[in-house]
Amino acid sequence: MKITDFSVHRCRIPLDRPIGDSQVIFTEHFMTVLELKTDDGRTGVGFELQQGMPTSAVAQLEAQYRYNGWSGVVGQSPLGMAMRIGRPRGGNVGAAVLGLATETAMWDLAAQQAELPLYRLFGGSEPRVRAYGSTLDFHLDEAEFRSWMAHFTELGMGGIKIKVGHPDIEWDLNRLATVHDVLGEDVDVMIDANEAWSPKEAISRMKRYDDEGFEIFWIEDPITREDYPGYAMLAAEIDTARINTGEYLGFHGKRRLLESGGVDVLNIHGQFQASRAAAHLAGDYGIPVSLGNTLLELGVHLAASLPECLYLEFSDLAWNRLAVEPVKFEGGFAIAPDRVGHGIVLDRDALAEYAEPQ
């Protein structure tokens, strides 16, 4: 099987709710959809998201891909490419156009060729993964916040993650009180500060939440991503919650983080191959992983193939409208599609509806 052709779609998708955290807010998603075609008539699909800024016009996206990515893709075997170990150096670090979309489409094709669902190609045997609902609520009012929590509770989620990190600690405490009010004590509560605090502030806030009687399953990204000594300090001082971080770090940063001893749950997402390597490294330190949001929830294949994945994040975002049959969430679990490949088939009507070529 060889790659012979590609097509690119540019979509602008309005969100059901303004999403964000203590640092950012977004009301729409600019998605690029890449289809790679093969000489035996198969199509692999990959996705890319740009937040906070429109993507280039589709003609320009096509030209950029043809100029920078395509010569390394055309004529290649998908499995061979998906398995390739890159050597990022100098100016080629992060320079690939549609790198994530290409890797996703390659794995889709490789699993189609193997006639396996992707999680099985990755060595998994059980399609279900424990999932948590992620409200992304920082910019929602109280009523909206409650309704999103109710939505995730209806899906049977055993965990809910909310945003904290407001300059006024009373705001955080009110949110935690609402969570307690709605969910009771049977649901794991995760909080995410998106790097809002200094190490000392993180320690004092976590102490206050504990003093107020709020049990926290994990605190995510309390301080800046590369403050490895800071994370080591938090790990030594905070014994009331796990520390979840790594989402914003590349492989090198994740390694340094693990070496620092400052992480209890390593957050991985992004390209499959790099995430598999990071999960392997975390396992070497005896540290479990969690999956952050992935486009069209495709990280479910990765999560389902890993031996120590605590939870997969589900924010129920509008990108799932692009799929004929999105990844299912039932009874507190994400379920990897049992179709060959990654199993996400594009909904052509939705693609047309959200297409914005210019």
| Residue ranges that bind Mg ion, judged by CB under 5 A | 192, 220
Question: At its nearest, how many Å lie between Mg ion and the CB of residue 132?
Answer: 12
Q: 56 vs 271, which CB is nearer to Mg ion?
A: 271
Question: At its nearest, how many Å lie between Mg ion and the CB of residue 26?
Answer: 14
Contact call for residues 158 and 129 (beta carbons, < 8 A) = no
Q: 102 vs 290, which CB is nearer to Mg ion?
A: 290
Interior/surface letters 28-66, b for 16+ CB within 10 angstroms, e for the rest: bbbbbbbbbbbeeebbbbbbbbeeeeebeebeebbeebe
Question: At its nearest, how many Å lie between Mg ion and the CB of residue 234?
Answer: 16
Q: How many residues does the chain have?
A: 358
Question: At its nearest, how many Å lie between Mg ion and the CB of residue 194?
Answer: 6
Q: 265 vs 318, which CB is nearer to Mg ion?
A: 265
Q: 8 vs 317, which CB is nearer to Mg ion?
A: 317
Question: At its nearest, how many Å lie between Mg ion and the CB of residue 288?
Answer: 16
Residue with tokens 């990844």: 327
Question: At its nearest, how many Å lie between Mg ion and the CB of residue 165?
Answer: 11
Q: 172 vs 220, which CB is nearer to Mg ion?
A: 220
Total Cβ atoms within 10 A of residue 219: 26
Q: 104 vs 293, which CB is nearer to Mg ion?
A: 293
Q: 31 vs 291, which CB is nearer to Mg ion?
A: 291
Question: At its nearest, how many Å lie between Mg ion and the CB of residue 260?
Answer: 19
Q: Closest CB to Mg ion belongs to which residue?
A: 192
| Token representation of residue 183 | 């969910």
> Where would I find the H helices in the chain?
58-68, 78-83, 99-113, 118-121, 142-154, 169-183, 199-211, 228-237, 251-260, 272-284, 299-305, 348-354
Residues 6+ apart with CB under 8 A from 151: 133, 316
Q: Can you tell me the distance from the alpha carbon of 291 to that of 157, in angstroms, rounded to the nearest whole number?
A: 15
Residues 6+ apart with CB under 8 A from 86: none
Contact call for residues 219 and 243 (beta carbons, < 8 A) = yes
